[in-house]
Structure 1
Amino acid sequence: MEEKPFLGLRTVIYAAPDLAATKAWYTKALASEPYFDEPFYVGFNVGGYELGLDPNAVVAEGSTITYWGVAAIHEVLHRLINLGAVLHTDIQDVGDGIKTATVNDPFGNVVGLIENPHFHL
């Protein structure tokens, strides 16, 4: 059997034009401190995956949306909006009990949320 070339998602990078403000917002949103914190990059461990904040990255319209797994999409969506995110797409049941939603963080990045009762690590 051929070895699989992809091991899985590792890192998602979001633009952080104001690194201090972006870091503060994600620290609150994730209820977690970054594990890597330098003037050129901030990294958070989110369930074994990395969310990186890059002050040199540019928010690209129409960019790929990454969906972060959540256990309770309604609660997490309201939490992010209360922290200053703006609703991008409301919660949708996309079938078989799977729900998705997206928000724009205060810095313009689109953040996806997915509640998928069938996906387990």
Structure 2
Amino acid sequence: MILGLRTAIYPAPDLPAAKLWYSKVLEQAPYYDEPFYVGFSVGGFELGLLPSAQPGTVGPQPLWGVENIETSYSRLLELGASALEPVTEVGGGIKVAAVQDPFGNRFGIIENPHFNASSVR
């Protein structure tokens, strides 16, 4: 039985640079930091950095929740990300956007007023 999202892994061939960038984006240090994997705890989920994987913008596309998508999108660009998909309302007050991180990965964000954190298990 699938219980829900636990980890989203991002390829990071330059692990020290990726660790620094994601520490700034997430405003926290990793909780797990090894030469083969770096993990950040993000709202009960994990964002992992894997140095042995190839970056890309296609494939699975996790969306990380934000309170204000316009502010978050601007901040990601200020930190060195490149625009992939502008902030777009997709219905019901839900807004999505995506950037390309400095390492070549798609990093998606979502502002969803209907998300119920208490239903996460």
CA RMSD of aligned residues (A): 0.8
Q: Percent identity?
A: 55
Deviation at 1:52, TM superposition (A): 0.4
Supply the distance in 1 between the matched residues of 2:82 and 2:19 (Cα, whole angstroms): 18
TM-score by length of 1: 0.94
Moved over 6 A (4+): none
| Structure 1 portions without partners, runs of 5+ | none
> CA offsets per residue over residues 15-71 of structure 1, 9 Å max, x none?
001000000000001001000001110000000100000000112452111100111
- Relative to the length of structure 2, the TM-score reads 0.94
- Name the larger-Rg structure: 1
Distance 1:19 1:87 in 2: 22
1:116 maps to a residue whose letter is N
The number of residues matched between the two structures is 117
Q: 1:33 aligns with which of 29, 35, 38?
A: 29
Q: How do residues 1-121 of structure 1 correspond to structure 2 at under 5 angstroms?
A: 5-121=1-117
Distance 1:49 1:35 in 2: 12
Supply the AA of the counterpart residue of 1:45. S
